[in-house]
Amino acid sequence: MDPATQFLRPEVLKQVEEIGAADILVGIPSYHNVATVGGVVEAAAQGLSYYFSGLKAVLVNSDGTSDDGTREAVLNAPLPSGIEKIVTVYKGPPGKGSALKTIFEIANKLEAKMCLTLDADSRSITPHWIKALGDPIHTQSYGYVTPYYLRDKHDGTVTNFLVYPLIRALFGLKVRQPIGGDFGLTGGLVLALARQRVWGYETDVNRFGIDTWMTTTAINEGFRVCQAALGVKIHNPKHPGKDMRNMFKQVVGTLFGLMRKYEIKWKTVKETKTARIIGKFHFVELEELKVGFPELIKNFKKGALESKKLWVEILDPKNYSQVTALTGLKNTDFRFPVELWVRIVYDYAIAYNFAPFDKDDILESLLPLYFGRTAAFILETQTITDELADAVVEGIAGIFERLKPYLLKRWENAKQEYLGAPQKTRIRMEKKIFRL
């Protein structure tokens, strides 16, 4: 049976058949983005018309049942002659991943040579982004293009403190915005992703885990990866202490789960290289994103009480001792050493894969530690520029690399303990295991 029939609505299949084929497809997953999606569609259409005028182009909006007029805004957005438009509500579990699955299936049915994905909440997108994301695939045979843009030093903290440095340390490739949201994919990668056994289940890939899954898969499955300089990224920001809970758990859980799948590969990585950056890039100072420092400290200390039992089980005793000592610091004296944070992330990666605890509980107990590290970063960078703050992030990533032997040693010990456990215990350990 054609997999597309499971994920595409009959009216979409009919529209796809009428279009027939495409050279380039731009997909925009959306949910309640009426204020911004029209601008994204307009910029994408202008970019397609100006930079890829010789190619047959299709623009697809895959929406999550928005009731704010998002789909209507896309439908009403004018397109230049020759560009087709498909607007649909996706099928499957709610989340960005399900929206992209629909886009991938449409791209496969149309046999698109390349597929670009754009965030629907972007306020800084320009038509040039289409060229920057598409050209490396169209003219230079790259398989996957990630965004490289400037963000406020307090934006993208999950990326800065965990996803970017962990992917870099594990797989030996510096990809600065692995979950940036705006990507370019060759048709071959789209097909490979669409055929993975993660769709239709209640997994984090169907939600916010999709971006880190795409990037990690592209790196490890042999696709050539580069970075496209896009300039400034301005979008609807999420406050680290208020809005990040589900996104954090889905992104981090996905990455931790992929460590099992690609274990053989990351264990052999000894050096790191930078994915090529295509285009010009320079730092400019952005309007500072306001983040509630006291609230982050409050969440950290509250979490220390609520998550104490799991912290004791998951963290190395020395790490646990150091963390509990931080809970007694005054706000003005607060600190959270980077090396301690890195060891904690590695402890949690191991626990997620081998400990006999519910995986959601594990990730929930990591959140207050993330709040604490975020608060410390705010103090450390409060008087420096965005450019210098980015250098601090690079330093954090370097420490992830330097402490990789700590991960390797503890991982092997945990694995041997897991393999030596009775079968019933191993089954309990695999409860809610990530489907890969």
pLDDT in tens, 321-363: 999 999 999 998 999 999 999 999 999 999 999 999 999 999 9
CA distances from 251 to 210, 211, 212, 376 (A): 8, 8, 7, 22
Q: CA torsion angle for 210, 216, 221, 227 (degrees, to 10)? A: 100
**What's the count of helices (H) and strands (E) in the chain, helices before strands?**
20, 10
Within 8 A by CB and 6+ apart from 121, the residues are 33, 36, 37, 235, 236
- pLDDT tens-digit map of 360-397: 999 999 999 999 999 999 999 988 888 898 999 999 99
Asked if the model's pLDDT at residue 435 lies above 50, the reply is no
CATH superfamily of 4-278: Spore Coat Polysaccharide Biosynthesis Protein SpsA; Chain A (3.90.550.10)
The single-letter DSSP state of residue 94 is S
Phi-psi region of 141 (alpha: psi -120 to 50; beta: other; left: phi over 0): left
Give the Cα separation of 231 and 326 in Å (integer).
Answer: 38
Mean of the per-residue pLDDT values of the chain = 92
pLDDT value for 223? 98
Phi then psi for residue 133, to 5 deg, are -85, -30
Q: Range with the lowest mean pLDDT among 84-88, 187-191, 414-418?
A: 414-418
Least confident range from 42-51, 230-239, 314-323: namely: 230-239
- Tens-place pLDDT, residues 14-41: 999 999 999 999 999 999 999 999 999 9
Give the residue extent of every domain in the chain.
4-278, 293-429
What is d(CA 268, CA 340) in angstroms, rounded to the nearest whole number? 24
Per DSSP bridges, beta strands 114-117 and 24-30 are parallel
Q: Residue 160: pLDDT band by 50, 70, 90 thresholds?
A: very high
- pLDDT, one tens digit per residue, over 68-107 is 999 999 999 999 999 999 999 999 889 999 999 999 999 9
Short-list 51, 72, 43, CA closest to 59: 43
* pLDDT for 290 beyond 90: no
Task: Determine the Cα–Cα distance for residues 260 and 136; give it in Å rounded to an integer.
Answer: 31
d(CA 311, CA 316): 9
Strand partners, 24: 57, 114
pTM value is 0.93
